[in-house]
Amino acid sequence: MRSLRVWIKKEGRAKYISHLDMNRCFMRAVRRANLNLWYTEGFNPHPYLNFLTPLSLGQESEAEPLDIKVEGDMTDGEIQKRLSAVMPEGITITGVREPVCPASDIAAAEYDVLLEFSDDESASRFAGESRRIVASGVLTAEKQGKKGGRKTVKEVNVCDGILSFEASADGKEVHIKATLAAGNTSSLNSSLLLSALEAKTELSPEYVNIRRLRLLKADGTDFR
């Protein structure tokens, strides 16, 4: 049995595939690719397949890690070739290799966000006010969660999860580059950040595209 990390690019219409459907998609792909996955032991065995940082619906990504365990002597290159041949439109297998870092090393994620407003003035105001708000260190929002099987809502300071933030306007467009906390101990959803900024500035874009570029370790180096 070998542990492998499959790296996935998700873009275009594929960004509307939910996390649950992504699991189903890859289960079908594995069967169609005739891969010999390792199955867990116990009363209800199932193939080991684990998305480390599930994307929110509607977001694109350059590099999503999926951990699998396989049996047999099929090479990493052959596994990548077989998976690539059965992927739906918008999902690309960019690499298959042995994991270098444990999942617990994930500490941050880098994002590229494009916003389109109805006019130049709105875009310029949103960029400027967003920079000012983030620099102030205070931006509250309601975050949903679960406790004891029940849904909960608590107020959080979004700025606590922002590691870096840049916003610039170009005509009707606003480009945001941000590094946000990610992982099991602390995590900030980019959609929560944007909704909090929209509420604070009272400015809403007509189009939003969020793209996660890469995952980082605590020291700022790439998670691999």
Q: Whole domain around residue 112: which residue ranges? A: 105-216
35: domain CATH number is 3.30.70.580
204 pLDDT above the threshold of 70 = yes
Same structural domain, 203 and 126: yes
* Count of the separate structural domains present in the chain: 2
Which of 65, 99, 133 is the endpoint of a domain?
Answer: 99
pLDDT of residue 6: 97
109 pLDDT above the threshold of 90 = yes
pLDDT of residue 161: 96
Q: What is the pTM of this model?
A: 0.91
151 pLDDT above the threshold of 90 = no
Is 127 within the bounds of a domain?
A: yes
pLDDT digits (tens, 9 = 90+) for 81-96: 999 999 999 999 999 9
Is 224 within the bounds of a domain?
A: no
C-alpha closest to that of 117 among 169, 158, 153: 169
What's the CA gap between 118 and 172, in Å, rounded?
A: 7
Is 222 within the bounds of a domain?
A: no
The amino acid occupying position 131 is R
pLDDT of residue 23: 92
Higher pLDDT, 42 or 13: 13
Same structural domain, 12 and 92: yes
pLDDT of residue 149: 67
Same structural domain, 57 and 142: no
98 pLDDT above the threshold of 80 = yes
44 pLDDT above the threshold of 90 = no
pLDDT of residue 1: 86
40-44, 117-121, 142-146 — which one is most confidently predicted on average?
Answer: 117-121
DSSP 3-state helix, strand, coil percentages of the chain (rounded to 5)? 30, 40, 30
174: domain CATH number is 3.30.70.100
Same structural domain, 134 and 210: yes
Looking at residues 194-208, what average pLDDT do you find?
Answer: 97
Cα four-point dihedral sign 158, 142, 144, 150: positive
Is 221 within the bounds of a domain?
A: no
Rounded to whole angstroms, the maximal C-alpha distance in the chain is 61
Looking at residues 42-67, what average pLDDT do you find?
Answer: 90
Looking at residues 90-119, what average pLDDT do you find?
Answer: 97
Mean pLDDT of the chain: 93
Same structural domain, 210 and 110: yes
pLDDT of residue 148: 64
Higher pLDDT, 84 or 154: 84
Same structural domain, 93 and 137: no
